[in-house]
Amino acid sequence: MHETPLLDKPVIYGSEVADWAFIALAVVHALFGAGAVVCGIVALAAKKGRPVHLRFGRWFVRAMVATALSGIALDSIRLGFFFTENHTKYAGSGMPSSIPARLAFLYGALCILYLARVGAHPRVFSRRPAQLPGWERALPWALVVAGVGFAALIIARLNPWTGALWMIATFGAATIATGQLTPSVAQHRFAMLFLAAFSWWGALQGFGPAVGRLFVGDDASTEPYLGHLPGDFSPAFFAFLVAWAPAFGLAAFLHRRFRRAAAA
C-alpha cells in the first residue's frame, strides 16, 4: 500500500499509475507550500517597495495560488474517489483526515484564491481610488455564504467538534475584512499577512507529523475511522485555537508594526 509523504496517509486509487499520480500531486502541493513559506519570510524581511520585496512577494502569491489549486484537487479526489479504502486506519499509516477537515481546507483554498487576487491587484497601489465592479464587491459575501453552507453541513450531518469550524470562521472573517477595505496598501498588507500566517501554520501541519514520527515511530494502531460521524464534545475542539494562535498572533504583530512604521 502506498502512503502520502510526511503524513503517511493511505493512497489507494485502483492502480499503480493512479496512486503515484496522487502522490506526485501531494508532493507538488507540499513543495509549493514550502516555497510560499520561504518567499513570504523573505518578502516580509525585505524593505517594502524594494526589488527583493516585490520579487519574492510575487512568488509568494504565485506559490499560495498553486498550493490552493493543488489542495482543491487533492481534497476533491479524497472526498470523491475510493473513500472507504482511503479512510481506513491501517497499521503503520497515519489516521485519515476527517471529512470536516477536508471541507474546511477546501473552503480555505477558495478563500486563498480570493485573498491572493485582492491583495496583489495593481489597484491597491494606485493613488487614485478605484471603483470595484459589482461582481467583485459581491464575491467576498458569496464566499461567506459558501462558508455558512459548509459549516451547516458539518454541524447537521458530520462531526462539529473539530477545528474545521474555527478554520471556516477564520477564513470567512478574513475574506469579509479584506473585501471591506478600500483598495490600498493596508488591504494588501492585511491579505498578505493573513496568507503568510496560514502558510506558517500549514507548514507545521504538514511537516510536524514527520518530525513526530522520528521520535515516536510508526503508528501500529488500527483504530476505526470516525471522521464522518457525529461525536460528543471534546475539549480538543479548542486545541485548534492553541495551534492557530501563534502564527496569526505573529501576523497581527507584524501588521501593527508596519502601521506604526508607516505613521512615523
For 205-211, the CB contacts below 8 A with 24+ separation are 206/6, 206/7, 206/30, 206/33, 207/6, 207/34, 209/6, 209/7, 209/8, 209/94, 210/6, 210/7
Top pLDDT among 225 and 167 is at: 167
Top pLDDT among 1 and 114 is at: 114
What would the mean pLDDT of 222-244 be, rounded to a whole number? 83
Top pLDDT among 105 and 135 is at: 105
According to DSSP, the β-strands at 10-11 and 2-3 are antiparallel
> At residue 10, does pLDDT exceed 80?
yes
| pTM higher than 0.85 | yes
Q: Highest mean pLDDT range out of 25-39, 124-138, 174-188?
A: 25-39
Q: How far is CA 221 from CA 90, 94, 117, in A?
A: 7, 9, 43
> 22-54 pLDDT, tens per residue?
999 999 999 999 999 999 999 988 888 888 998
Mark out the alpha helices in 81-133 (DSSP H runs).
83-86, 99-120
What would the mean pLDDT of 118-132 be, rounded to a whole number? 67
> At residue 130, does pLDDT exceed 70?
no
Give residue 31's pLDDT: 94
Give residue 235's pLDDT: 84
Give the mean pLDDT of the chain: 87
